[in-house]
Structure 1
């Protein structure tokens, strides 16, 4: 790896701080998140095989760290609304997966509340389906059904809106909006 951590700090600290500030309102939380990001970068920079991918790699760490921050601070309270600007990316930061992810956020917001709750708790807050059943007071099979139905609804919305080309690992390599009037993207 040709990059030293101080070079990464010099190149990314200011843009990352700006990026975080748009998504987290408290200044101390922004500083804590930035510090956590650079610890992760420092601990994992040797695993980055291609210097050309450092930009996307760092912004992925940043986005995931912000999501972790919201998860940690909302354990006992279900926030049906995800932070509005969490999926927003600058054009140079945008990848196909990231853009589709921002569309999915809007799609999740458009699900009926019981399905929205099931997806947010299981997919974004890493709750098991058993924990979902206990929290909502329904059977385990009922919880599984809700999650499955929510996933099917999201898939249907996505496929109505976009034509996706995926690699064999399921990453989106290209997509095209089917209509310019898609209400999600």
Structure 2
């Protein structure tokens, strides 16, 4: 039980602190809410074996703890606003975030130089193997691999110039923020 809790702490403590901090301004209150979240997780750790999506469960516990915090503070006006924000947040789960980012990436691919656009479209979107790409483009297999790798690097550079990613302990993208307001690909 303690080892499961330690794993959850290692994976979620930083992203949850950021998540809470976006909703609560006072640093001491952020720490208190984070502590309450982990107390609830610790007290209900036995439910983990029955859960398919630990990530969703942890964030649901966190959202409910934030709501409890505002109820105790009797910030009714902010609680209503927060409830709407959390309702929206519940819809912006991990899959939605990935879908939004995927849309951005597909848009960015369209503006890559043609040979890189072709390489990524075929291999990443149409699931063509790199060997098949080599045959279609008249390249050696190593040439096709290099082209796909370079295309991925260009796409990554473009994406990171536009957006900041929030990543959990497993390396999964849990949220993103458009940092460049001039970015035409990723509008939230």
Q: TM (normalized to structure 2)?
A: 0.48
Q: TM (normalized to structure 1)?
A: 0.49
**Structure that is richer in helix per residue:** 2
Q: Choose 1 or 2 for highest CA Rg.
A: 2
**Structure of higher RCO (CA pairs closer than 8 Å, 6+ residues apart):** 2
